């Protein structure tokens, strides 16, 4: 198992470096995880408060289903570990990624009253697992932000159940969560959703002016 975490850590570090370069994990924000073992559940996860542009192997922790650290690495698990674990359980995800981008922050607030953002008619949507046409309508739910992680995990569990087809969700004025069967798929989903959010954000401004 320790070997599994070490191997996974390199993959998480590569994604972290790439997303930090794009400005999606600035200021030690965001976090990344990947399932190493299902029975018992063991998740490799970036420790709290580390610079994602230079995530080192020893900054990747192994946690169990209660977000307790297992094994040698001594960092502190992120408060948001409970959200990662919940997503792994609800969706059977193999990897969960959470980014703080300027555009996801802005749109998570702008559309908060609607409870989510409908994204429809873009070819880019076809990159989301199971989507076969640009005519797909993706609903990206927005959940109110909170510091009570137990309550927030429950709200997210309900949201995931209510929106069975959602490939991600936004926390208001906080960030984006997405996931996948494995790390590559989770990375792909984040890139697609970030792209679409930027596209929608920039379109808003042109549309309004053109009217």
5: phi > 0 → left, psi -120 to 50 → alpha, else beta; which? alpha
**Closest approach of Cβ 103 to a second copy, in Å?**
8
CA-based angle 158:180:134, to the nearest 5?
90
Q: How far is the CB of 28 from a second copy (least distance, A)?
A: 5
How many other CB atoms are there within 10 angstroms of residue 59's CB atom?
A: 21
Indicate whether 17 belongs to the interface with a second copy (CB under 8 A): no
- Our finding on whether 199 is near a second copy (CB under 8 A) is yes
* 53 is an interface residue for a second copy by CB under 8 A: yes
Q: What is the bridge-based pairing of β-strands 60-63 and 137-143?
A: unpaired
Among 11, 22, 91, 176, binds a second copy (CB under 8 A): 22
| Contact range with a second copy by CB under 8 A, out of 33-41, 62-70, 89-97, 194-202 | 194-202
Q: Which helix (H) or strand (E) holds 107?
A: helix 102-110
> In angstroms, what is the minimal distance from the CB of 39 to a second copy?
30
Residue 118, interface with a second copy (CB under 8 A)?
A: no
């Amino acid at each position: 198992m320790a070997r599994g975490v070490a191997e996974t850590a390199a993959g998480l570090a590569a994604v972290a470096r790439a997303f930090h370069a794009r400005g999606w994990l600035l200021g030690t924000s965001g976090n990344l995880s990947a399932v190493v073992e299902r029975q018992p559940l063991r998740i490799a996860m970036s420790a709290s408060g580390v610079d994602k542009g230079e995530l080192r192997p020893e900054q990747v922790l192994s946690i169990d289903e209660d977000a307790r650290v297992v094994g040698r690495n001594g960092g502190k698990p992120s408060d948001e570990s409970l959200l990662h674990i919940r997503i792994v359980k609800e969706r059977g995800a193999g990897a969960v990624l959470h980014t703080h981008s300027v555009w996801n922050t802005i749109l998570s607030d702008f559309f908060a009253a609607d409870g989510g953002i409908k994204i429809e008619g873009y070819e880019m949507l076809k990159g989301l697992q199971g989507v076969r046409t640009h005519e797909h309508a993706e609903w990206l739910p927005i959940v109110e932000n909170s510091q009570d992680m137990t309550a927030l995990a429950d709200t997210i569990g309900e949201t995931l159940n209510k929106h069975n087809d959602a490939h991600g969700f936004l926390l208001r004025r906080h960030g984006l969560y997405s996931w996948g069967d494995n790390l590559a798929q989770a990375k792909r989903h984040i890139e697609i959703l970030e792209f679409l959010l930027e596209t929608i954000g920039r379109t808003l401004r042109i549309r309004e002016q053109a009217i």
